[in-house]
Chain A
Amino acid sequence: MLGSFDAVLLARLQFAFTVSFHFLFPAFTIGLASYLAVLNGLWLYTKKQHYLDLFRYWIKIFALAFAMGVVSGIVMSYQFGTNWSVFADRAGPVIGAPMAYEVLSAFFLEAGFLGIMLFGRDRVGSTLHMVACLAVAFGTFFSAFWILSVNSWMQTPAGFSIDPETNQFMPEDFWQIVFNPSFPYRLAHTVTAAYLTTAFIVGGVGAWHLLRYKRRGDKPSQATKTMFSMAMWMATIVAPVQIFLGDAHGLNTMEHQPQKVMAMEGHFESHPEGWAPLYLFGIPNEETQTLDYAVGIPGLSSLILGHSFDAPIMGLDSIPDDEQPPVAIVFWSFRIMVALGFAMLGVGMWSLWARYRKRLYEAPWLHRAAVLMTPSGLVAVLAGWVTTEVGRQPYTVYGLLRTSDSAAPLEAAAVGATLVAFIVIYTAVFGAGTYYILRLMGHPPHTAEARYKDVVDGPTRTAGITPATEELMRRHTKEEE
């Protein structure tokens, strides 16, 4: 049945494409929503102008990224049915409920308060406006909570039975379904990843402007310094935490999905006597089931995964061929993620050293490194996502429902045509959006930063700005001249 295989493969490609594209936006906006709430809180508490400037600077970028996240997210809520109807029918009774909770507790909260957050400061007063900022931030977190619960259930299903008549998964215990074995680890690891993603984007933009101020021989604005400093604190503190969380998540995967870890580690052969090497490099060869040109540290894998050099580590040779995930993709994506994680840690420590020496804002090589690392969070998040999703193959519901049995009864031509449409439209539309975001980032945050919306069109309106800020603006203009 070549035809049905093609349709399944195309459906998988389409889903992988739409979900990966979508994931980039929330990975950025989850952290950014919290950052905006913090900035707004700091502005209200300290009344220091540069916090308000930063808030206004980042909220324009947030609005663009959020809109792209929303429209690409609506696609996801229907792709389960259009592309994976058998999966939807079978797993719907279990995972439908948490997904409905995501809509009810997260999407409405975000959408309902976003308008007030963007447009409403003058209309509702600062207290309710702050509440709106917090509501949007919590909304993004609730969304991550529920969707990661669903994803984790597909990885480590629990709390269900199978109806012999319809083959549907039937809920037995929703507590076990929502808090399934891999969920706490995945939630902590993914949300932390989103925060780091935002930190490195904010830090990269800050570093870029610090370098530009330096090249022009100007003093950097307070807002620019503040955003770089805040981002580097996040990197310093959160990157080590993330490495710890990642390790815990890996051990949890080892317990519940051993063949995923085997693929991540490149362990084709078992080491029943222990001393399994940690492969740093190698070319996975699935034909011969070997890791070619392998460079490894003897015993380290046993030590990390089994906490002893003698810990036996089983390899893919203990797993039937039709139960194995594609090794090369998982092996490489895992390495990209880990390498970026350690690079983040490095930048965090470097900034701490520069801060200690009071040279945080005069360290051009640190700033260059931070600029280089701007997209590192996005890449790491995608690589991690690929590791866990491809590592779950050949199943949609791990060990229970195969991907090949999950697909909708669609014709390959229809899926292929819509796949092309998705690729063309996503590239054009989200490419344009990314360009607009980069253009906004290309300007440093100004004193009395323009509000949401009056950026391109006409002169910046000053209506509604307090006399104090007008004074600041005048001084700033003088400085620039």
Chain B
Amino acid sequence: MPIAEGVSFDLTLAWAMLIALSVLIYVILDGFDLGLGMLFAVEKDRKNRDVMMNSVAPVWDGNETWLILGGGGLFAAFPLAYATILPATYIPVIIMLLALIFRGVAFEFRWRTERWKPVWDAAFIGGSTLAAFAQGMILGALLQGLDIDKATRSYVGGGWGWLTPFSLFVGLAVVFGYALLGATWLVMKTEGPLQERMRKRARVLSVITVIFIGLVSIWTPFLQDGYFSRWFTGFGIGLAVLVALVTLLMLALLQLTLRSGGEEVWPFILSLALFALCFVGMGVSMFPYIVPTEITIYEAAAPRASQLFMIVGASVLIPIILIYTGLAYWVFRGKVDPEKGYH
């Protein structure tokens, strides 16, 4: 395994962590944006919809930028992975991009028209749901592994290789998971009857999400021998049991904090933690592969000079980004005022 030469610091591993981190940040942040978009479907009252949208209007654009960093970082640090994963998941990727267009423009367009407002509300709901489903399918397709021809450094699995029961199932799991994030975000950002309804929805959604997590976790080890041996032998068994127990504990805490009149912030933090746990679990399954089970992070890595050039900038810029992103959240902290919005 050609690890970076002459230094104790494994640059490739650092980049893999960094990209994983930006994907996780994306999933969490845009997850609640998209989930909130889906919840538009069940909140038909116009004022409530305004409040919901206003709760993310100042930050959604920054949230979505982490997706570009995930894609751009993959391109820069692991070009071979970028060049094989995207053709392999071509159709869901395009579906996701088009869905994100509808979702994104709805933020602006629905304030610019009275007659067409229902159309852009529908675009917001449909775009959010479809983007979440497509992201889940991409994840599922990647987890189950891609057919790669190493001689030509290209994907050879055909145009529909991504479409399997597993990828559809993961797509659904992500839809419900994002809806949970959206509901707990709204518990934090709203008041009164809207908040109470969100509590109720989040209680149901958390149960569905955890069921999906359980089923995907049981299914995944059977996709690849490598996954199976990692989770179901020796030390892995203990870890698997521990993760399962922690997940159930989180579900219990969610139910507890989501009861009527209960905590406002904790449900959101708990659902974030649930996502982080799943994410780490998937990382444990996949490592060291970036394209299971064909290409490792070391095989896909850009040359050291590229990674070094970028890590210099990233180590300065990412902390700065986190600071001003935090600033934006701080500026728009607290409950959304249904009368004023943000003006």
Chain A positions within 8 Å of B, measured between CB atoms, are: 63-64, 67-68, 70-75, 77-78, 80-82, 85-86, 88-94, 96-97, 99-105, 107-116, 118-120, 122-124, 135, 166, 168, 170-172, 174, 408-411, 413-414, 418, 421-422, 425, 429, 432-433, 436, 439-440, 451-457, 461, 463-464
Known interface pairs A94-B306, A103-B65, A456-B112; A425-B90 also in contact (CB < 8 Å)? no
A118 contacts across to B, CB distance below 8 A:
58
Residue B87 is within 8 A (CB to CB) of chain A in the complex? yes
- Can you list 21 A-B contacts (CB < 8 A)? A67-B61, A70-B104, A73-B68, A77-B72, A81-B82, A85-B83, A92-B75, A99-B76, A100-B73, A101-B310, A108-B62, A108-B321, A112-B62, A115-B328, A119-B57, A120-B58, A123-B331, A123-B332, A408-B87, A436-B112, A455-B112
A96 contacts across to B, CB distance below 8 A:
72, 75-77, 79, 302, 306, 310
- Determine whether the beta carbon of A70 is less than 8 Å from that of B64: yes
Q: Name the one of A82, A107, A114, A453 contacting B87, with C-beta atoms under 8 angstroms.
A: A82
**Given the complex of chains A and B, what is the CA–CA distance between A1 and B318 in angstroms?**
46
Least CB distance, B81 to chain A, in whole angstroms: 9
- Determine whether the beta carbon of B64 is less than 8 Å from that of A74: yes
- Determine whether the beta carbon of B343 is less than 8 Å from that of A93: no
For window 308-338 of B, CB contacts with A under 8 Å fall at 309-310, 313-314, 317-318, 321, 324-325, 327-328, 331-332
- Determine whether the beta carbon of A456 is less than 8 Å from that of B159: no
A63 contacts across to B, CB distance below 8 A:
108
For window 23-80 of B, CB contacts with A under 8 Å fall at 57-59, 61-62, 64-65, 67-69, 71-73, 75-77, 79-80
- Determine whether the beta carbon of B105 is less than 8 Å from that of A409: no
Residue B178 is within 8 A (CB to CB) of chain A in the complex? no
- Determine whether the beta carbon of A453 is less than 8 Å from that of B72: no
**Given the complex of chains A and B, what is the CA–CA distance between A425 and B153 in angstroms?**
33
Known interface pairs A70-B61, A112-B324; A97-B76 also in contact (CB < 8 Å)? yes
- Determine whether the beta carbon of B108 is less than 8 Å from that of A433: yes
B interface residues, how many (CB within 8 angstroms)? 70
**Given the complex of chains A and B, what is the CA–CA distance between A431 and B181 in angstroms?**
33
Residue B225 is within 8 A (CB to CB) of chain A in the complex? no
- Determine whether the beta carbon of B79 is less than 8 Å from that of A414: no
- Determine whether the beta carbon of B111 is less than 8 Å from that of A456: yes
For window 254-276 of B, CB contacts with A under 8 Å fall at none
- Determine whether the beta carbon of B98 is less than 8 Å from that of A82: no
Beyond contacts A73-B68, A120-B331: 6 other A-B pairs, Cβ-Cβ < 8 A, are: A102-B72, A112-B325, A114-B62, A408-B90, A409-B87, A461-B343
**Given the complex of chains A and B, what is the CA–CA distance between A418 and B87 in angstroms?**
13
Greatest chain A CB density within 10 A among B84, B85, B112 is at: B112
**Given the complex of chains A and B, what is the CA–CA distance between A168 and B76 in angstroms?**
13
**Given the complex of chains A and B, what is the CA–CA distance between A409 and B76 in angstroms?**
21
- Determine whether the beta carbon of B314 is less than 8 Å from that of A100: yes
- Determine whether the beta carbon of A111 is less than 8 Å from that of B65: yes
**Given the complex of chains A and B, what is the CA–CA distance between A284 and B342 in angstroms?**
57
Q: Name the one of A70, A73, A174 contacting B305, with C-beta atoms under 8 angstroms.
A: A174
Residue B122 is within 8 A (CB to CB) of chain A in the complex? no
Least CB distance, A263 to chain B, in whole angstroms: 31
Least CB distance, A298 to chain B, in whole angstroms: 50
- Determine whether the beta carbon of B111 is less than 8 Å from that of A457: yes
A110 contacts across to B, CB distance below 8 A:
61
B332 contacts across to A, CB distance below 8 A:
115, 119-120, 123
**Given the complex of chains A and B, what is the CA–CA distance between A72 and B113 in angstroms?**
22
B159 contacts across to A, CB distance below 8 A:
410-411, 413-414
- Determine whether the beta carbon of B62 is less than 8 Å from that of A100: no
**Given the complex of chains A and B, what is the CA–CA distance between A361 and B84 in angstroms?**
59
**Given the complex of chains A and B, what is the CA–CA distance between A81 and B65 in angstroms?**
18
- Determine whether the beta carbon of A453 is less than 8 Å from that of B321: no
**Given the complex of chains A and B, what is the CA–CA distance between A78 and B68 in angstroms?**
8
Chain B positions within 8 Å of A, measured between CB atoms, are: 57-59, 61-62, 64-65, 67-69, 71-73, 75-77, 79-80, 82-87, 90-91, 93-94, 97-98, 100-102, 104-105, 107-109, 111-114, 116, 153-156, 158-159, 302-303, 305-306, 309-310, 313-314, 317-318, 321, 324-325, 327-328, 331-332, 340-343
- Determine whether the beta carbon of A104 is less than 8 Å from that of B321: yes
A120 contacts across to B, CB distance below 8 A:
58, 331-332, 342
- Determine whether the beta carbon of B111 is less than 8 Å from that of A455: yes
- Determine whether the beta carbon of A414 is less than 8 Å from that of B91: yes
**Given the complex of chains A and B, what is the CA–CA distance between A433 and B302 in angstroms?**
39
Least CB separation from B333: chain A residue: A123
B59 contacts across to A, CB distance below 8 A:
115
Least CB separation from B120: chain A residue: A432
**Given the complex of chains A and B, what is the CA–CA distance between A67 and B321 in angstroms?**
20
- Determine whether the beta carbon of A108 is less than 8 Å from that of B71: no
**Given the complex of chains A and B, what is the CA–CA distance between A112 and B86 in angstroms?**
27
- Determine whether the beta carbon of B64 is less than 8 Å from that of A409: no
- Determine whether the beta carbon of A104 is less than 8 Å from that of B302: no
- Determine whether the beta carbon of B108 is less than 8 Å from that of A67: yes
B68 contacts across to A, CB distance below 8 A:
73-74, 77, 103, 107
Least CB distance, A261 to chain B, in whole angstroms: 31
Known interface pairs A108-B65, A456-B112; A116-B331 also in contact (CB < 8 Å)? yes
- Determine whether the beta carbon of A78 is less than 8 Å from that of B328: no
B58 contacts across to A, CB distance below 8 A:
115-116, 118-120
**Given the complex of chains A and B, what is the CA–CA distance between A111 and B76 in angstroms?**
21
Least CB separation from A91: chain B residue: B79
- Determine whether the beta carbon of A64 is less than 8 Å from that of B62: no
**Given the complex of chains A and B, what is the CA–CA distance between A111 and B26 in angstroms?**
14
Least CB distance, A98 to chain B, in whole angstroms: 8
Least CB separation from B115: chain A residue: A456
- Determine whether the beta carbon of B98 is less than 8 Å from that of A78: no
**Given the complex of chains A and B, what is the CA–CA distance between A135 and B323 in angstroms?**
14
Least CB distance, B335 to chain A, in whole angstroms: 14
**Given the complex of chains A and B, what is the CA–CA distance between A93 and B302 in angstroms?**
5
- Determine whether the beta carbon of A105 is less than 8 Å from that of B317: yes
Known interface pairs A78-B93, A88-B83, A108-B325; A433-B62 also in contact (CB < 8 Å)? no
- Determine whether the beta carbon of A119 is less than 8 Å from that of B342: yes
**Given the complex of chains A and B, what is the CA–CA distance between A94 and B302 in angstroms?**
9
